[in-house]
Chains A and B, each alone.
Chain A
Amino acid sequence: MAEDGRRRTATAAEIVFRDVTKRYPGRPAAAVQRLSLVVPAGDICVLVGPSGAGKTTAMKLVNRLIDLDEGDITIDGRSIRSLDATELRRGIGYVIQQIGLFPHMSVADNVAVVPRLLGWDKRRVRERVHELLELVGLDRADAGRYPAQLSGGQRQRVGLARALAADPPVMLMDEPFGALDPITRERLQDEFLRLHEIERKTVIFVTHDIDEAIKLGDRIAIFREGGVLAQYDTPDAVLARPADEFVARFVGADRGLKRLALRKLGEIELEAPNGLAAGAPVAGLHTTLRDALSLMLSEGAEQLVVVDERGEAAGVLSVGQVGRLLAGS
């Protein structure tokens, strides 16, 4: 893993769980039971489920903070058991809800922890720290400050930068935004997605919030009690075709509306502009179908005019068409 850490071009790695089981001593039920799933390189895989469903355990098996009992996990085809645990961890970014910044180290020193462990020279460490602080939206002036001097949102940005520092091909994130206020959380989610476009890692992301899972996940793995994987699919497929009653209940009765939130007006085929839409509400191409429907319903309109960046009508959306889109796919 040390070589991977030194290679700045390290991108993403495929993660494969093969029949993985974990039992805690003294407990009859398995925490994770015969878990098999493949996380394609560069994807964000969100593990979601109620408390005690084993999602955090499943994540911690990957960097061996918890040791698995049966089965195997491979990263880029290499078994995690074939590596020394600390070497393995230096190649995997790790972000937790409580952040766990080192309170006695400055922001820069926190971010520099793993590169220094890997023996990078001073100049390279300094450059990487500055690059990362910028990437996660922190000020260069914050580099010398201590964690106690930062807000919760800023601290999690540092946590993210620290995890990304040695450019690991894999990131593990355990409810990283769970303790933040809703506005900060949403902003960090958006920035995380933007960041993921730039630094395309394979991410395993644990949350109990299904909305966060739908928003962030390329794929979501829904766990039920007893560490059983109930469904593993894209957010749209999970919402359109829940595997069973448990998944349907977990994603919520409003799963249709949640699906609408996944699609933007610019991504669907609109009806041609027609004269009937005079006085109808107007929305841009980046509006989600959910927001568009909400707008029509609150305005009491049957139709909505979609306008492009120049403000010209690009098409028309009707309530009926929204219904047909949901039923059709």
Chain B
Amino acid sequence: MSVHSAAGGPVHIPSFGRASACITNNDLFCPEWVRDNWGSVLQPALVEHVKLTAIAVAIGFAIAFAAAVAARRHRILETPIGLVSAFLYTIPSLALFQLLVPVTGLSVTTVEIALVGYTLLVLFRNILAGFRSVPEEVLEAARGLGLRGRDILWRIELPLALPSIVAGLRIAVVTTVSLATLAAFIGQRSLGTPMFVALRDYFKTEIIAAGGLAVALALGADALLVVAQRLLQPWARARAAA
């Protein structure tokens, strides 16, 4: 895509194919541009964005889950893990990219490390809070009946911690969808890529289209998690009905 300094007035955007009046006037939103550029610009960016988010949340969840499982039995671990994840969370994202580039280069790895880092705090806190919310008497009964540690974890603690875990996942997913736009900053394709181009060119349609897709993706993923939680928790519905 061509680089332009765009300041005021109609802009010339040669790489954007046939330019309608709407496009050359840089009106607020030109659907025909979205139609023409869906396959070449928006859809690939969306797909990459979903991948970046899914990988980051999956890895972040695995790490946070393991850390929370360890911390639920050994309270001494809670503070150090909490501090590390809080520290990662406070580093400004652009600064973190800069710090990582000399080590991992302008790569997907750099993006994923940063994104994973930002999910850890909220996931760790929420998963641990979920485990802590399991009533002590339920655990005592489970032990007394002869359930082993891993049975108690998978069959008792995990299902009962689910509301808190899903709440954490929802925040992590929405945050990551938003942060993943910054991948474009180090040249990795995401919904941030068309945004960056459009910001340089001040091309409104592209900003709105890419931004709208990011918002829709966040809302869609959030809704999906809510539905999943309802399906996984038949007992919560029964309680509400009681």
Instruction: Give the interface of A toward B (CB within 8 A).
Output: 63, 65, 86-92, 94, 96, 98-106, 113-114, 117, 145-146, 148-149, 159, 162-163, 172
B141, CB-defined interface residue at 8 Å: yes
Using known A-B contacts A89-B144, A117-B151, A149-B242, determine if residue A99 contacts B137 with beta carbons closer than 8 Å: yes
Interchain nearest-CB distance for A93 vs B (Å) = 8
**CB pair B142 A102 closer than 8 Å:** yes
Partner of B239, one of A86, A105, A114, A149: A149
Chain A residues with Cβ under 8 A from B148's Cβ? 86
**CB pair B141 A100 closer than 8 Å:** yes
Using known A-B contacts A94-B141, A96-B137, A101-B141, determine if residue A148 contacts B235 with beta carbons closer than 8 Å: yes
**CB pair B144 A96 closer than 8 Å:** yes
Q: Can you give 26 A-B contacts (C-beta < 8 A)?
A: A63-B144, A86-B146, A86-B148, A89-B143, A90-B145, A94-B141, A94-B145, A96-B140, A96-B144, A100-B138, A100-B139, A100-B140, A100-B141, A101-B141, A102-B138, A102-B141, A102-B142, A103-B235, A104-B159, A105-B235, A106-B235, A113-B145, A113-B147, A117-B147, A148-B235, A159-B141
**CB pair A103 B160 closer than 8 Å:** yes
Instruction: Give the interface of B toward A (CB within 8 A).
Output: 135, 137-148, 151, 156, 159-160, 233, 235, 238-239, 242
**CB pair B142 A100 closer than 8 Å:** yes
| Residue with the greatest number of chain A CB neighbours at <10 A, chosen from B151, B160, B233, B242 | B242
Interchain nearest-CB distance for B122 vs A (Å) = 24
Chain A residues with Cβ under 8 A from B137's Cβ? 96, 98-100
Rounded to whole angstroms, the CA-CA distance of A90 and B139 in the bound complex is 15
The chain A residue with its CB closest to the CB of B149 is A86
Partner of B156, one of A63, A102, A146: A102
Chain B residues with Cβ under 8 A from A163's Cβ? 145
Q: How many A-B residue pairs have CB under 8 A?
A: 77
- Chain A at the B interface: mostly helix, strand, loop or mixed? mixed
| Residue with the greatest number of chain A CB neighbours at <10 A, chosen from B142, B145, B147, B156 | B145
Interchain nearest-CB distance for A144 vs B (Å) = 9
Interchain nearest-CB distance for A76 vs B (Å) = 17
Interchain nearest-CB distance for B130 vs A (Å) = 13
- Chain B at the A interface: mostly helix, strand, loop or mixed? helix
**CB pair A104 B242 closer than 8 Å:** no
The chain B residue with its CB closest to the CB of A98 is B137
Using known A-B contacts A98-B137, A148-B242, A149-B242, determine if residue A104 contacts B147 with beta carbons closer than 8 Å: no
Rounded to whole angstroms, the CA-CA distance of A88 and B135 in the bound complex is 24
Interchain nearest-CB distance for B137 vs A (Å) = 4
Rounded to whole angstroms, the CA-CA distance of A98 and B137 in the bound complex is 6
Using known A-B contacts A65-B140, A146-B239, A149-B239, determine if residue A100 contacts B146 with beta carbons closer than 8 Å: no
Interchain nearest-CB distance for B138 vs A (Å) = 5
Chain A residues with Cβ under 8 A from B233's Cβ? 104
Interchain nearest-CB distance for B108 vs A (Å) = 38
| Residue with the greatest number of chain B CB neighbours at <10 A, chosen from A87, A89, A90 | A89
Rounded to whole angstroms, the CA-CA distance of A162 and B233 in the bound complex is 22
The chain A residue with its CB closest to the CB of B138 is A100
Interchain nearest-CB distance for B128 vs A (Å) = 19
Interchain nearest-CB distance for B27 vs A (Å) = 54
Chain B residues with Cβ under 8 A from A92's Cβ? 144
Chain A residues with Cβ under 8 A from B138's Cβ? 100-103
Which 8 residue pairs spanning A and B have beta carbons closest together?
A100-B141, A94-B144, A89-B146, A98-B137, A90-B146, A100-B137, A148-B239, A149-B242
**CB pair B160 A114 closer than 8 Å:** no
The chain A residue with its CB closest to the CB of B148 is A86
**CB pair B239 A65 closer than 8 Å:** no
Interchain nearest-CB distance for B159 vs A (Å) = 5
Chain A residues with Cβ under 8 A from B238's Cβ? 145-146, 148-149
Using known A-B contacts A96-B140, A99-B137, A146-B235, determine if residue A117 contacts B146 with beta carbons closer than 8 Å: yes
Partner of A114, one of B146, B159, B242: B146
Chain B residues with Cβ under 8 A from A90's Cβ? 145-146
Chain A residues with Cβ under 8 A from B139's Cβ? 100
